[in-house]
Amino acid sequence: MDVAAPLSPTDRSTVRRGSKRARTDRADLYAVLDAGLMGHLGVQLAGAPVVLPTGYGRRGDTLYLHGSTGAATLRAATDGAPVCFTVTHLDGVVYARSAFHHSVNYRCAVVHGTARLVTEEAERLVGLEALTEQLAPGSWAASRRPDRKELAATAVLALDLAEASVKIRTGPPGDDARDVEGPDRVWAGVLPLRTVTCEPEPCPLLPPDVPVPARVRERRISSRA
Amino acid sequence: MDVAAPLSPTDRSTVRRGSKRARTDRADLYAVLDAGLMGHLGVQLAGAPVVLPTGYGRRGDTLYLHGSTGAATLRAATDGAPVCFTVTHLDGVVYARSAFHHSVNYRCAVVHGTARLVTEEAERLVGLEALTEQLAPGSWAASRRPDRKELAATAVLALDLAEASVKIRTGPPGDDARDVEGPDRVWAGVLPLRTVTCEPEPCPLLPPDVPVPARVRERRISSRA
């Protein structure tokens, strides 16, 4: 889409709790997804939900996931059953004057849908490139591409970004007036959190004269909206 | 329990993929849970899984969750249906010589079970204290406790840590020998990630002479096993 369509809430993607935090701009969905490294995939397995951390990559309005062809959760995600994929960024701890109003500042995208097993070779490569680049920008060009055996061991799933919701909380605590105006001088505010990168740790098997490339050395993890 | 019992894997809590990363020591489960701020709760709602970020707190072998009594996901979690609660820490991006072996270093705890709605007043307060202290250590003592109306609006859930699995990945990439020994000088190693706290942002409504308390100013977020 040239111009991103707004998110059209369905029954299950309508934000009911804390609806003042809901965003309906598709650009917000893209921003939350694109800033993440991992999401949490929920599938139904043997009658119970299972939630596992999962890498992903986005191309347009398609989210690509992958996993071992032998993984039960991946099989459960591709048998036509509904799945849910959630990406959350924690931006701060919200300290309030009351225990009740303690909260977190966050950005969260929740995608509902049915995953499609990608079988066409070209799209499988598009998906794997998207996944690799989301995790490690520049790595698809720099590293050896998957060979036939590796491709055979990898299931690539596609999830349409058709049904999704975004919630974002920013700003100070929402304390009651009685607590704000009361005599107790309890500190209230936000302790911002940020994900930072540390000094790269070369593989012990790497020749010592291979320099850390800029794509690793200068990498910054997106944080805070 | 005085001495933590090992995790006794059931069928669904047995780690099948990447089983060399599985830990069966209950202390590992506690460590992963205690280091987190938020988890992802998976419930089945109207026939589909829903995964939402959720705060929590642990007391012994009980995990407490909470939410608005009006939230559909909370109601779905307490009607006797199975739930899954997952806490993940992302410790590093693993750059490999091959796209296939790119990975992440992480610590992840997955808890399966059926949540129990806590109705006894004393245990509800234990749960809310655990939740508040997990998010904001020191805040339960420092801030106003929930009043009757706030308590009535809050559902407290308990989830037994009876059925859980822990996976931890650390260390360099697991590249194939052909790539390690090959002529391509592709950088490989780990880019460690860490969650840090930034300068506290006082609530605009706070009198300017209320100092930032040590529990906020000196707070460090646990990271890396």
A38: closest CA among B212, B87, B16?
B87
Q: What is the spatial distance between Cα A202 and Cα A189, in angstroms, rounded to a whole number?
A: 39
> Is residue A225 scored above 50 in pLDDT?
no
| Residue B188 DSSP label | -
Whether residue B179 is contained in a domain is answered as: yes
Q: What is the spatial distance between Cα B30 and Cα B25, in angstroms, rounded to a whole number?
A: 9
Gap from B4 CA to chain A (nearest CA, Å):
25
Q: Are the Cβ atoms of B106 and A201 closer than 8 angstroms?
A: no
Gap from A100 CA to chain B (nearest CA, Å):
6
pLDDT tens sequence across A58-73: 999 999 999 888 788 8
pLDDT tens sequence across A132-141: 999 999 999 9
Q: Which of B12, B98, B197 sits opposite A45 (nearest CB)?
A: B12
Whether residue A2 is contained in a domain is answered as: no
**Chain A interface test: which of B56, B68, B69, B191 (most A C-beta within 10 Å):** B191
Residue A75: which CATH number? 2.30.110.10
Q: Are the Cβ atoms of A193 and B51 closer than 8 angstroms?
A: no
Assembly ipTM: 0.93
Q: Which of A27-41, A110-124, A179-193, B17-31 has the lowest mean pLDDT?
A: B17-31
Name the domain count of chain B: 1
Q: B57 burial class (0-12, 13-18, 19+ CB within 10 angstroms)?
A: buried
Gap from B69 CA to chain A (nearest CA, Å):
10
Gap from A157 CA to chain B (nearest CA, Å):
16
Higher pLDDT among residues B71 and B43, named by residue = B43
Q: B209 burial class (0-12, 13-18, 19+ CB within 10 angstroms)?
A: exposed
Q: Structural domain of residue A36, as residue ranges?
A: 19-217
A vs B: CB pairs below 8 A: 306
Whether residue B222 is contained in a domain is answered as: no
Whether residue A14 is contained in a domain is answered as: no
- B47 φ/ψ angles, rounded to the nearest 5 degrees: 85, 5
Whether residue A135 is contained in a domain is answered as: yes
Confidence of residue B23 (pLDDT cuts 50, 70, 90): confident
Whether residue A208 is contained in a domain is answered as: yes
> Is residue A79 scored above 80 in pLDDT?
no
Q: Which of A92, A197, A210 sits opposite B187 (nearest CB)?
A: A210
pLDDT tens sequence across B102-150: 999 999 999 999 999 999 999 999 999 999 999 999 999 999 999 999 9
Q: Are the Cβ atoms of B108 and A53 closer than 8 angstroms?
A: yes
> Is residue A2 scored above 60 in pLDDT?
no
User: Long-range contacts for B24-29 (Cβ within 8 Å, ≥24 apart)?
Assistant: B24/B166, B25/B166, B28/B166, B28/B168, B29/B109, B29/B161, B29/B164, B29/B166
Whether residue A168 is contained in a domain is answered as: yes
Confidence of residue B88 (pLDDT cuts 50, 70, 90): very high
Q: Which two tokens stand for residue B132?
A: 């508040």
Q: What is the spatial distance between Cα B24 and Cα A194, in angstroms, rounded to a whole number?
A: 31
Whether residue A11 is contained in a domain is answered as: no
> Is residue A3 scored above 50 in pLDDT?
no
